[in-house]
Structure 1
């Protein structure tokens, strides 16, 4: 058994209150540094993008030295309330959302699209009897001759109108299915991940189907956001995502996500004729020149 003795000249130091105060401060500082920092996010259980976004945040955390842990808040907040809590450094630190110039002025974007732009690929729900109209489309001008029906307040509407499409809108989302079924317009544009489940939920609309051959594409980033003041968190998560892109793990998570795999299996994206249009809602800082950040259906595995 070893015995340790303090030098005689050190013993008086132990009797001084200042010594113990300094020790306590040092101990608490060490414990504080050892604890993981918290990233508070909201998931009320209805957001179809939550599980994937959380997976990507964890991927970023796994690629950086600063230790974070994710704390999920289960409040039934609206998207507006979530954004406001993040903007004001309230009960949330981060949010995921489709991006455009307005939200980027209110929140700080981490400009790496979690879905690699997949949400910007749109295919159509149509009445089966109208497939022949789409079969005759060989150019963007041909496609513009058909009528399309997005929601009245959707970002899609402004994008399509800005690109010269004939747009017929409805205020209520469910009405659009009955309108395309009844011939009010030719095609109901949907994100590639949306129409298959939507039609499965509406078996009574037996004449509706997913158009077979065409696809519209525009850049639709889906980012993580922090407040403008929370630059350290934004920089750390950006660094983690950049490292994940560099080592291939970002693409691995993306292509192995069940929802992404389901889309690629059902939407037949590689075989579709793609028409590229502009998104006038994008901010000027969108990294359009970085090809590795964007999904290309023709080169998908």
Structure 2
């Protein structure tokens, strides 16, 4: 029996429904390209496919509901939380290679004198941090004693920061520079806090509807094939070259937090695919 027939009927394409992206985000563009690469590399075993994108953007909470039902979405990209892990199928491949684990902060230059005095995590804990509803980082920050102010979709958070509703907006290391550029005209005093960052192990995965188990199996096969061929590395480097330079900057203080959404087994399973800098930081994290 040939590999294609072993996987089932491949005469018609496998339908893959993905979220729509209204606001361009580097990790979402990359994830869509990585998804397509994994599907292409798995055609030898699973046959043709067809990607259908939603027509309107949905917030992360809504994506979870739609992946769970399996009617409008086949999969979505998320960091793991108890809800995602329970209601969908995780494809065990850390698509961001751990890069989302390092967080920097957007803030108002008017508060720069306050940030320059931050030397400990207790100092950082004095500030309020903006978060969106349903963000996986919210539970981590709350469980570690931080004061949070919630907004709606991401674009609502910049006006809140400008109005000093909170002092810090935590973003991944690959998001801060593009977002600074995108919003600095709206908020000229917007800046990246340079003297400290925060690390908590934050893997990001494809979460597939339990109604499409063959898609989950196919993606795991295709993603591993992309990694072993070196094609995943090239795609990652093309998208995150600048963020990797920021990650390798040793001049800032790094504060460490436990990720209360997951246990230590996630890092162990992901470690073969992670950036060496992330592995080193997580080892330090476990010593704190």
Same-fold call, TM cutoff 0.5: yes
Cα displacement (A) at 1:82: 4.5
Q: Is the 8 A contact 2:130 2:151 kept in 1?
A: no
Secondary structure of the structure 2 residue equivalent to 1:286: helix
| Map of 2:283 onto structure 1 | none
Match of 2:53 in 1: 73
1:101, 1:283 → 2: CA distance? 11
CA–CA separation in structure 2 for the residues paired with 1:90 and 1:68:
20
Instruction: Check the 8 A contact 2:106/2:169 in 1, yes or no.
Output: yes
Corresponding pairs, count: 265
Please state if 1:122 is matched with 2:103.
Answer: yes
* RMSD of aligned alpha carbons: 3.3
Aligned-pair CA distance for 1:134: 3.2
**In structure 1, C-alpha distance between the alignment counterparts of 2:277 and 2:63, rounded to whole Å:** 32
Contact 2:20 2:58 in 1 (8 A): no
SS at match of 2:131: coil
Structure 2 residue 51 is matched with structure 1 residue 51: no
Question: CA 1:253–1:299 in 2, change beyond 3 Å: closer, same or farther?
Answer: farther
Give the distance between the partners of 1:33 and 1:152, measured in 2 at CA: 42
The verdict on how the C-alpha distance between 1:161 and 1:286 changes in structure 2, with shifts beyond 3 A counting, is: same
CA–CA distance in 1 between the matches of 2:106 and 2:231?
34
Distance in 2 between residues matched to 1:139 and 1:107, nearest whole Å: 38
Matched, 1:102 2:83: yes
* Distance (Å, rounded) in 1 between the aligned partners of 2:100 and 2:142: 19
Work out which of the two has the higher radius of gyration on C-alpha atoms and give 1 or 2.
1
Query: What TM-score, normalized by structure 2, do the two folds share?
Result: 0.75
For structure 1, the 5+ residue unaligned runs are 1-28
TM-score, with structure 1 as normaliser: 0.72
Aligned 1:77-92 pairs, distance under 5 A: 78-79=58-59, 82-92=63-73
Q: Against the structure 1 CA distance between its residues 148 and 116, is the aligned structure 2 distance closer, same or farther, given a 3 Å change threshold?
A: farther
1:169 paired residue number: 149
1:250 counterpart = 2:229: no
What is the rounded CA distance, in whole Å, between the counterparts of 1:227 and 1:283 in structure 2?
A: 23
Instruction: Answer whether contact 1:39 1:68 (CA < 8 A) is retained.
Output: no
Gaps of 5+ in 2: 281-288
Q: 2: distance between equivalents of 1:46 and 1:187?
A: 24
Whole-angstrom CA distance in 2 between matches of 1:236 and 1:220: 24
